[in-house]
Each structure stands twice: as C-alpha cells, then as structure tokens.
Amino acid sequence: MTEPVYYTTMPSPVGTLTLAAREAGLVGVYFELRRHGPPTQEALAWRPDDGTAEPASRVLKTARHQLEAYFAGTLRAFDVPLAARGTAFQRAVWAELRKIPYGGRSSYGEMARRLGNSGASRAVGAANGRNPISIVVPCHRVVGADGSLTGFGGGIERKRWLLNHETRQVG
C-alpha cells in the first residue's frame, strides 16, 4: 500500500497554493493553474489534512510557515523536509535547482554543465518543468541563455513576480 498523501491550501501573492506531504516530507507545492501537476489518479487518493496525520501534518504546517516567511521577505532558504518522487535524473536536476542562490539565476545550459552533460539542456528543461515543489525547489530561477524568462509551469507572470520579489529583497 502506498503511503498516504495529505494536502492543504494557502493563499499567496501568486494565487492559492496546494501543499502536499507524506510522512517523509513535502511532495508538492502546486499553483492553481499549472502546466504539470500530480498524476490524476494519485491526486484523487489525497486526503485533506485535518492536523492529525502526524508527521505529514507537521510537514505541511512547516511548509506553510516557511512559504509565508518567504513571501514576507524574511526567509531565503527553505529547510522543510522534501520527499518528491521522480527519476534519478529529475531528482539530480531538482537538487541542482536548490543550489541556485536566493535572487540568483541560472540557465538550462549552465545546469546541464554542472550536472556533467553540457548537451542535456533540453532534458534539464523537461525535468525542471516536472518539478513538483515549486518555489521551495526554485525552478523559477532558471532562465534562458540570454536571460529571458522562458517556460514555467505556473506561468511566466508568476515567474516574473517570484524573480522580482527575490530581487527586491536582495537589492
């Protein structure tokens, strides 16, 4: 039997976010309208968090508090436990995303080089697009080689808002 996933929602400056967690950690931060979300069958089995599903409820509470602090401009690095599922390559890309500093940027090509395969920028882009833990795993910090805002599952306007928010806090 699969470990249950619990969820809650929270308002944010970029719209309502759905947070999902299992016992091991956060598995998703999803925008209302997004290109990629959890597999439908999996999401249908999710359970609303009522605060009693420890430790998943604690993970959701921590994630919510950290996201609120991020949006308030007082948190730059998340430390909520993560438990996203993906291929080995996707997990490597997501780990690399977490190395991009707050307010920083990287390109798909730069990430591919850091992962040891300079020709894998498209694959990096695809894995980046499948990142289920938006904001916490900062896929919004990846831009085109020329610095342009390219692809973002939550929409370019949300990406622009997140980047501007971080730039205001840093600068």
Give me the active site residues, please.
139
- Res 37 pLDDT > 60: no
Split at pLDDT 50, 70, 90, the class of 46 is confident
Number of domains comprising the chain = 2
Rounded to the nearest 10°, the torsion over CA 66, 39, 155, 147 is: 80
pTM confidence score: 0.91
Domain span at residue 124? 88-170
The enclosing H or E element of 10 equals strand 6-10
- Res 35 pLDDT > 60: no
Judgement on whether residues 98 and 154 belong to the same structural domain of the protein: yes
Separation of alpha carbons 107 and 144, rounded Å: 5
Q: CA angle at residue 133 from 103 to 13, to 5 degrees?
A: 60
Question: 123, 33, 133: which is closest to 80 by C-alpha?
Answer: 133
Q: State the pLDDT at residue 139.
A: 94
Q: pLDDT tens digit string along 108-146? A: 999 999 999 888 999 999 999 899 999 999 999 999 888
What burial class does residue 113 get, using C-beta atoms within 10 Å of its C-beta: 0-12 exposed, 13-18 middle, 19+ buried? middle
Tell which of 19, 46, 72 closes a domain.
Answer: 72
Composition of the chain by helix, strand, coil, percent to 5: 40, 15, 45
Residue 78 lies in a domain: no
